[in-house]
Structure 1
């Protein structure tokens, strides 16, 4: 009896496990089936969304690179050449562009091979080297720019770095010079800022004083200022090879200018130094903030070891020569003082008119405290000086020694200066 019961129990357990196992297997199969259905549904939805938003038969084009790598006992060449592909441009257009840039690269390769084929001057110089890399930009329609940076070594203490910029019209394939893209005012804004940088930074060569008074020996620099210029990030990138405005160790020097900044024709004919906080803000600004708020300098001047940056609004900000060590830190240069002419208001009071009338109006400004007046011994003009807050001096000068003559300019500076 016990044996029968035991057999019965075993059969019962076997049946129970079989049923349970089938249930588990079925559950897994159903789970997989559900997942597959879900993925399929998501895929279909993605395709529908993509078809709805993606234009059909839209012409496309892109830039790919071709690499030429050759390594022998006498030379090592590693050159990257851009190539336009796709159906987004007329075939004759991109073929024309591709021909020009490839011809440039092939000419450099041919030159290095000719040099290396000659007699080696000193033992151990081979292999001569040529490396060319490039960057490109199509942010400004309908143009495309390529900037090549070439490094070659054919003996001597070090190799040479050269740059070459190309810009093409994507409608015709024609090569254009970006200096012709700029009007005279825009060229002047760029030149002013670059000369300002040269004077401001220790790691750029100090500009000769001719930069500020336009002598003939400055013409050579002005003529090739825009030699290597390309479009970049909706702006213009102006480049200088080593030795042009800096040492070899400095490498390629680049300046970028936003096209909106260059096209801005607004001139703030009247600027109001409305309160003490406005004046303190101006005295605490750095070059980056000045450029962002007031634009590129319309004029630059040298004066008593300092550098003056004139804005469209008529403010003249002063900075020290060689006030920063490296170009990368140029934007951190701080304002020493600022001056202005008669298109400026001070606490809402116009500087236009006589110094005596202005002095009477300023007596009602509680933030101001007169600390002196008289004849400027150096210039022979009448002046009035004030204390603004605790740490700022205000100096206003007339055009002549008569206090009733018109205001010439106003100078605002921190006391410690």
Structure 2
């Protein structure tokens, strides 16, 4: 019995040590040499330290997000941030050779910060601005959530006990915030929800003020309207969350 108890205490101690190590970060910076008519790439993100599952999960998730953001022609085989940066610059150079008078230098700025963390969950916010020609670039935010204990990335459905109930609750708050009448269709005031039905964004993250829902530009409204944000205090959201947050 004593040996089993000792084993349990050692296991708990090891988990605690691993979790403490998992929350240690350094800044990873990737940029290229700039010139007057050159493509600009500037990346600054947190890099998780330590050889454990959580650190590996966080670093892989960030790497994959950045590779996707820099993948212009969707044919890149880059498997690293550096490789994706080089491919992004090469794509512009090839386009500039074909259309030298029409192509403006491209730009990619990506900045990551630790938005929220406690003993159970950590959220990393990834801000990006990508310009690859045209009238304007595209800026957005991505929120990556991680289960600290299990070292796993959390998809949207992993956040809730019952996603449908949370969606129904959120629609009431959304209508009040955006002045959409309760007895009218969700698109009655100009929103563009597909099939005339309210839905949650893919982009949801933990913050100090509450659970943040982030609708991308174009997702439910015109580009001119910009992103639509909805913050639900934890006093309201905790009923639905698998990871309840103490207000």
Give the TM-score normalised by structure 2.
Answer: 0.65
Question: What is aligned with 2:156?
Answer: 178
Answering whether residue 194 of structure 2 is matched by residue 230 of structure 1, we say no
Q: Structure 2 stretches of 5 or more lacking a match?
A: 1-18, 71-83, 241-247
Q: Structure 1 stretches of 5 or more lacking a match?
A: 1-57, 201-205, 266-417
CA gap of 1:75–1:146, structure 2 versus 1, over 3 A, is: same
Which secondary structure does the structure 1 equivalent of 2:172 belong to? helix
Answering whether residue 196 of structure 2 is matched by residue 218 of structure 1, we say yes
**Matching of residues 286-365 of structure 1 within 5 Å:** none
Q: Aligned partners of 2:149, 2:194: CA distance in 1, in Å?
A: 40
Shift of 1:158: 0.7
CA gap of 1:67–1:251, structure 2 versus 1, over 3 A, is: farther
Question: What is aligned with 1:257?
Answer: 232
Q: Aligned partners of 2:205, 2:40: CA distance in 1, in Å?
A: 29
Question: What is aligned with 1:208?
Answer: 187
Q: What is the RMSD of the two structures over their aligned residues, measured on CA atoms?
A: 3.3
Q: Aligned partners of 1:257, 1:156: CA distance in 2, in Å?
A: 36
Question: What is aligned with 1:98?
Answer: 59
Answering whether residue 113 of structure 2 is matched by residue 135 of structure 1, we say yes
Q: Aligned partners of 2:134, 2:117: CA distance in 1, in Å?
A: 40
Shift of 1:81: 1.9
Question: What is aligned with 2:139?
Answer: 161
Q: Aligned partners of 1:97, 1:65: CA distance in 2, in Å?
A: 13
Question: What is aligned with 1:84?
Answer: 48
Shift of 1:101: 0.9
1:99-124 Cα offsets, whole Å, 9 max, x none, are: 22123224434263353133234626
Give the TM-score normalised by structure 1.
Answer: 0.41
Q: Aligned partners of 1:149, 1:117: CA distance in 2, in Å?
A: 25
Q: How many corresponding residue pairs?
A: 195
Question: What is aligned with 1:187?
Answer: 167
Q: Aligned partners of 2:156, 2:118: CA distance in 1, in Å?
A: 12
CA gap of 1:207–1:59, structure 2 versus 1, over 3 A, is: closer
